[in-house]
Amino acid sequence: MRLALKTGSYGILHIAVATGVAFALTGDLAVALGIGLLEPVVQTVVFAIHERIWEGKPARQRGLAA
């Protein structure tokens, strides 16, 4: 339960930071909200791909060494 709450609070923080940075750069609240909501979703997908590649590389290396 603690991990779920921590993950959720971090997600909200991420959206707030991304929206704040986008607003500081654009001065447009609508654009900032769009970026602030879209960026964390894209980042989550990229992280999942990164993890898959990162975890798969040692397995391939072990297969080549065997």
- Residue 41, domain extent: 2-65
State the pLDDT at residue 63. Answer: 59
Spatial distance between the Cα atoms of 43 and 55, rounded to a whole number of angstroms? 18
Contact indicator for 18, 39 with CB cutoff of 8 Å? yes
**DSSP class per residue in 19-65:** HHHHHHHH--HHHHHHHHHHHHHHHHHHHHHHHHHHHHHHHHHHHHH
Q: Which helix (H) or strand (E) segment is 15 a member of?
A: helix 2-26
Please write the tens of the pLDDT for every residue from 14-60. Answer: 999 999 999 999 999 999 999 999 998 898 889 889 888 888 866 55
- Domains: count for the chain: 1
